[in-house]
Amino acid sequence: MAAFPDGLNEQVGYELAASHQYVAIAVHYDALTLPRLAAHFYRQAVEERNHAMMIVQYLLDADEQAVIPGVAAPQTGFADVVEPVNLALEQEKRVTEQISTLVKLARTEGDLVGEQFLHWFLQEQREEVASMGALLAVVERSRDNVMLIEDYLARESGGEAALEAGAPPAAGGAL
């Protein structure tokens, strides 16, 4: 029996937990009347949810059982404006390691289709770690004037789509 589908189902939980954490971060910034930071993390939450649904669709297409696990409650209290972004960067690094482990598992099991499916996620994670690292640098430098962070996000945020270009299909479509 292959462990790769089980690993993918576990990753669905990790992606959904990441989505919940990003919602909690967005709500935190919303409560501080920092709409750009809030919007950034609300978008991140949708993106992580879509990643989970891409994996679900892959499992369905591969005629494997898709399991939707429960997730632990996210962290909701933060000491300052920097802590949530630092948490987000650590989360992105952790997800990168999780995806890398899945790629190695697919390779070990000789599941070339599964390995190929995950290549998009590896590229996405490289971009996410870089982007969150840049945001953390800005937030750390601007912690005493949070409006500079808002200005940065206003300049840097583009018109991101709900589902990224070139992404695998997501179960339920791009919502």
**CATH number of the domain where residue 51 is located:** 1.20.1260.10
**By C-alpha distance, which of 23, 129, 15 is closest to 74?**
23
User: Does 73 fall in a domain?
Assistant: no
C-beta of residue 23 within 8 angstroms of C-beta of residue 138: no
Within a domain: 58: yes
Using pLDDT thresholds of 50, 70 and 90, give the confidence band for residue 172: confident
Is the pLDDT at 51 greater than 80, yes or no? yes
**Residue 144, both tokens:** 């005493």
Tell me the one-letter amino acid at 32.
Answer: L
What is the structure's pLDDT at 150?
Answer: 95
User: Which domain covers residue 106, as residue numbers?
Assistant: 4-68+80-156
Say if 49 falls within a structural domain: yes
Question: Is residue 74 in a domain?
Answer: no
Total of domains in the chain = 1
How confident is the model over 160-170, as a mean pLDDT? 68
Residue 61 falls inside a structural domain:
yes
Specify if 8 maps to a domain.
yes
Mean of pLDDT values over 166-171: 79
